[in-house]
Amino acid sequence: MHFRIGISPCPNDTFIFEAIHERLIDLHGHSFEFVFEDVETLNRLALRGDLDIAKISYANYFQVQSNYVLLRSGGALGKGVGPLLVAKQNFESSELKNKLIAIPGTHTTANFLLRFAFGGKLNIIEMPFHLIEDAVLKHKVDAGVIIHENRFTYHEKGLVCIKDLGTYWETETKLPIPLGCIALRRNFDEKVLLEINELIAKSIHVAYQNNQSLSSFITSHAQEMKESIMRNHIDLYVNEYSLDIGLDGAKAVYKMKEILDEANTSLPIFIHSK
C-alpha cells in the first residue's frame, strides 16, 4: 500500500523516520512518499485531507479527528520540552496584551499553550517557526513563541525568556506536554494502522542503534546545522513517549481535548494496542 506522509524537516522527525525513508527496515510491502513541511503547513494539509499520514500539532488534531486517528508511536510529548515566549528585553506578563506576538501558526500547540497561559485576547501574527527569532531581534514583533531548535539558541542571540509555556502547562496539569502527533487516515483497516505504528516504532529502535553519528539525511534537513544543537533536539523530543504514548501521555491529550472542548465526538482518538 502506498502512503503520502508529511513530516517536518526537524531532527526529531527525520531521526524517527529515517529508517522508513531510507528503507533500512522491511516495510512489509508498503511504500511512502514523503512531504517535508513546517508544522503549520502540515496542519493545514491535514485539514484539507491531503495526507494519508501526517505529523501535526496535537492542538490541531481535534479539528481533523473525523478523518484521522492517532498512532501510538512517533509523536512528540514530554517534560521540559514546551515552547518559549521570548523577547529582546524582559517585561511583565500584564504588558503582553499591548505587544505584537509572533506565533508559528494558528493551529499549533504553541499557540494553544500561549492562549492557555494568557487567555485569548492577544495581538498575534503568524510566521514560519524558523523566522520568529530574527523577527524579534529586528523589532518586527515585540515577542515570539519559539519551538524546535530555537529553544537552544535564543539566549545566544540576546533574547530572554518571558515565560516557559510548557512549564506552565506542566505546573497546572501535572501532565507531560503534548506537542506533535502522528495521525493516519481512518479509512484504513485496523491491520494497516497497527502495521504502520509498528514500522514507526521499529524505525525509532533502528535510529537509536545507529546513533553514533548523525546521518546526512538528518543534517541536510535541519535548520540549525550545529551537531550539538541537533543532538540536543533529538534527545529532548524523542523519548519514551515517542515509542508509545503511554498512560500519562494519553491523559495529557485528553486534558487538551477537555480544554479545547471542540471534539464532541464518540470517535476513538488513538488506535488500539495489540
124, 126, 183, 272 from 101: Cα distances, Å? 5, 9, 29, 39
CA–CA gap between residue 85 and residue 83 (Å, rounded): 7
CA–CA gap between residue 129 and residue 150 (Å, rounded): 9
Do 113 and 168 meet the contact criterion of CB atoms below 8 Å apart? yes
Residue the block writes with cell 528503507: 23
* Residue 126: CA count within 13 A, CB half-sphere: 9
Residue the block writes with cell 506522509: 5
CA–CA gap between residue 56 and residue 147 (Å, rounded): 14
One of 148, 205, 233, 272 is an active-site residue; which one? 148
**148 in active site:** yes
Q: Which residues have a catalytic role annotated?
A: 148
